[in-house]
Amino acid sequence: MRLFKYATASTAKIILDNCTLRWSSPVMFNDPFDVQFDLHLDYDEASLVELVCDELWKIYSGEKPFDPANELGHALAGFLHRFPV
């Protein structure tokens, strides 16, 4: 699925500078047909939890490096210094 964000050039610059996006609430749309789609994510919750825990452990244990731009990775690195494996 692809999502598109239409913005003016000045707004696009702000988005790129801050690495942030904002969407209006669908209740604020002026056309009720703008949001007629079913966003159904077909996944098994238990498998997802297991996958996330495995990935977090790999990062925490040092088996997998974390992305320096990811704040969660920095938090895990901080925990690792305080609570070594």
**How far is the CA of 83 from the CAs of 5, 36, 61, 62, 79, in angstroms?**
42, 48, 11, 13, 6
Surface-to-core class of residue 7, CB atoms within 10 Å of its CB (0-12 exposed, 13-18 middle, 19+ buried): middle
Instruction: Please give the Cα distance from 8 to 14 (Å, whole number).
Output: 10
Q: Which helix (H) or strand (E) holds 46?
A: helix 45-60
Residue-level pLDDT, tens digit, the chain, 85 residues: 677 778 889 988 988 898 888 777 777 777 767 766 677 788 899 999 999 999 888 888 888 887 878 888 778 778 777 877 7
Structure-token pair, residue 42: 């077909």
